[in-house]
């Protein structure tokens, strides 16, 4: 079953016209209440400085928007709905984002979502999207995310107030070797179709960095089997998004060459800088390589500092932050980031040039089947 060649009519932007730093990705706090097996961000966080207050976060958002005219503000990484100060900061962040008329959403593991609904509804906040994590049927989800996680997410999903606080609700599944079997995928999809009137699924293809156990890494065969299942049911979903990082799929080169996933001339960027391709009816792939993340995304730590995507993989990644957003050096730092991206582009392996997978990967796939085969 091959990818459709139907054009992406809603993505009418030209890649050359997209300004840098379209998205602000906000890390509200330093901790998470779960220790998920598949998490690609290390547990240890050695930070510099105090975490920002809610009012300081509003200053950060206003400065970023004044400088960059943001398209999207995403509160993600760690757990943004933990009770107390963290949740108050998240709510203020979303309120400020909506007042600036930005696309705004939250990615959460869902354990505190039900308890947070009262605060969301009383504030009158309407999220543009809400992603809640589930890794499959209960026995698989709890194997990956821990005992009790599945039931807490179910409690939130069953609460009618959930549908009053978000325009789009996604179940977010991290596809890995533990949940990609035909039986597990079919049971999970059948559950979604039977539970939601407007089912939306975000499939995050596991990013297998040094922080992720090797027994969770996907093979090409496992990915293709899952892709075939998703294509077969995509017409029954409102949306299915596949998020793929270079390295997530060893044979990305072959898979794109054979037409299972779109490449080069079939890809377009949206206004946030994200690179998309259409796979099937209501089924899209979103490629996220390091260069694109550096060029189009500003990720801010709990202390209000810029951090690069690759530095997030370091064991003590809190030490690798750059200048404060609320500092005079910040604009200079952003210019330095763009210079780094240009330098990376000049270092791409010559064997990658001209390949249909190049825009998706930009030479970042450390498991690349093409480069291994030609070595």
pLDDT of residue 312: 83
| Mean pLDDT calculated for residue range 101-127 | 95
Q: Could you give the percent of the chain with pLDDT greater than 70?
A: 93
Q: How many Å apart are CA 260 and CA 360, to the nearest integer?
A: 14
Q: Which two tokens stand for residue 133?
A: 């994590």
Residue-wise DSSP of 284-331: EEEE--HHHHHHHEEEE-TTSBB--TGGGGSTTGGGG---BTTSTTHH
Q: DSSP class of residue 163? A: G
Report the pLDDT value the prediction gives residue 14, as an integer from 0 to 100: 54
- pLDDT at position 168 over 90: yes
Q: What is the pLDDT of residue 368?
A: 93
Q: What pLDDT, on the 0 to 100 scale, is given for residue 16? A: 61
Collapse the DSSP code of 185 into the 3-class scheme (helix H, G, I; strand E, B; otherwise coil) and give the result: helix
Distances (CA, A) of 81 to 59, 86, 290, 373: 21, 7, 27, 45
In this predicted structure, the answer to whether residue 293 has a pLDDT above a threshold of 80 is yes
Distance CA 324, CA 302 (A): 11
Q: Note the pLDDT tens digit of each residue in 272-289.
A: 999 999 999 999 999 999
Rounded to whole angstroms, how far apart are CA atoms 217 and 372? 18
Q: In what order do the strands lie in the sheet with 275-280?
A: 267-269, 275-280, 283-287, 239-244, 200-205, 169-175, 129-133, 103-108, 72-75, 23-26, 297-300
Picking from 233, 218, 36, 28, the residue whose alpha carbon sits closest to that of residue 116 is 28
**Domains of the chain and CATH, by start:** 15-374 (3.20.20.70)
Closest CA to 40 of 305, 345, 290, 310: 310
Torsion angles phi and psi, residue 141, rounded to 5: -60, -45
Give residue-wise pLDDT tens across range 298-318.
999 999 999 998 888 887 777
- Integer angstrom CA distances of residue 273 from 186, 209, 286, 301: 33, 24, 11, 21
pLDDT above 70: residue 79: yes
Strands (E), the chain: 23-26, 72-75, 103-108, 129-133, 169-175, 200-205, 239-244, 267-269, 275-280, 283-287, 297-300
User: Is residue 23 within 8 Å of residue 103, measured between CB atoms?
Assistant: no
The CA distances from residue 236 to 34, 133, 252, in Å, are: 32, 20, 27
Q: What confidence score (pLDDT) does residue 228 get?
A: 97
pLDDT of residue 354: 93
Per-chain mean pLDDT for the chain: 92
Residue 56 has pLDDT above 70, yes or no: yes
First to last CA, the chain: 30
Q: Rounded to whole angstroms, how far apart are CA atoms 134 and 144?
A: 9
Picking from 342, 322, 341, the residue whose alpha carbon sits closest to that of residue 332 is 322
Strand extents, DSSP E, 154-266: 169-175, 200-205, 239-244
Check if the beta carbon of residue 4 is closer than 8 Å to that of residue 235: no
As a whole number of angstroms, the distance between CA 203 and CA 180 comes to 11
pLDDT surpasses 70 at 10: no
Helix (H/G/I), strand (E/B), else coil: 228: helix
Distance from C-alpha of 218 to C-alpha of 337, rounded to nearest angstrom: 31
Largest CA distance in the chain: 60
């Amino acid at each position: 079953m091959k990818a459709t060649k139907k054009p992406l009519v809603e993505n009418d932007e030209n890649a050359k016209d997209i300004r840098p730093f379209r998205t602000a990705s906000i890390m509200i706090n330093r901790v998470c209440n779960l220790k998920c097996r598949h998490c690609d961000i290390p547990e240890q966080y050695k930070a510099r400085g105090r975490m920002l207050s809610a009012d300081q976060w509003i200053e950060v958002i206003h400065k970023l928007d004044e400088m960059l005219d943001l398209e999207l503000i995403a509160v993600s990484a760690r757990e943004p709905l933990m009770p107390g100060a963290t949740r108050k900061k998240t709510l203020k962040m979303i309120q400020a984002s909506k007042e600036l008329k930005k696309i705004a959403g939250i990615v959460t593991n869902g354990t505190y979502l039900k308890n947070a609904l009262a605060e969301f509804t009383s504030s009158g906040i309407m999220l543009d999207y809400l992603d809640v994590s589930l890794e499959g049927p209960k026995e698989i989800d709890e194997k990956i995310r821990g005992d009790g996680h599945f039931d807490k997410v179910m409690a939130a999903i069953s609460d009618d107030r959930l549908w009053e606080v978000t325009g789009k609700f996604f179940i977010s599944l991290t596809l890995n070797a533990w949940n990609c079997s035909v039986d597990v995928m079919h049971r999970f999809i059948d559950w979604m179709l039977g539970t939601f009137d407007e089912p939306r699924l975000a499939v995050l293809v596991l990013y297998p960095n040094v922080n992720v156990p090797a027994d969770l890494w996907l093979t090409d065969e496992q990915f293709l089997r899952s892709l075939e299942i998703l294509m077969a049911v995509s017409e029954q979903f409102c949306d299915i998004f596949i998020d793929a990082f270079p390295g997530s799929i060893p044979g990305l080169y072959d898979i794109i060459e054979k037409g299972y996933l779109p490449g080069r001339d079939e890809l377009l960027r949206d206004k946030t800088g994200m690179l998309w391709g259409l796979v099937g009816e209501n089924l899209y792939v979103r490629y996220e390589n390091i260069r694109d993340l550096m060029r189009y995304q500003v990720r801010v730590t709990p202390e209000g500092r810029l951090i690069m995507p690759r530095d997030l993989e370091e064991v003590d990644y809190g030490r690798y932050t750059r200048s404060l957003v609320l500092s005079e050096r910040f604009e200079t730092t952003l210019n330095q980031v763009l210079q780094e991206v240009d330098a990376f582009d000049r270092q791409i392996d010559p064997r990658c040039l001209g390949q249909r997978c190049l825009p998706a990967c930009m030479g970042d796939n450390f498991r690349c089947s093409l480069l291994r085969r030609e070595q």
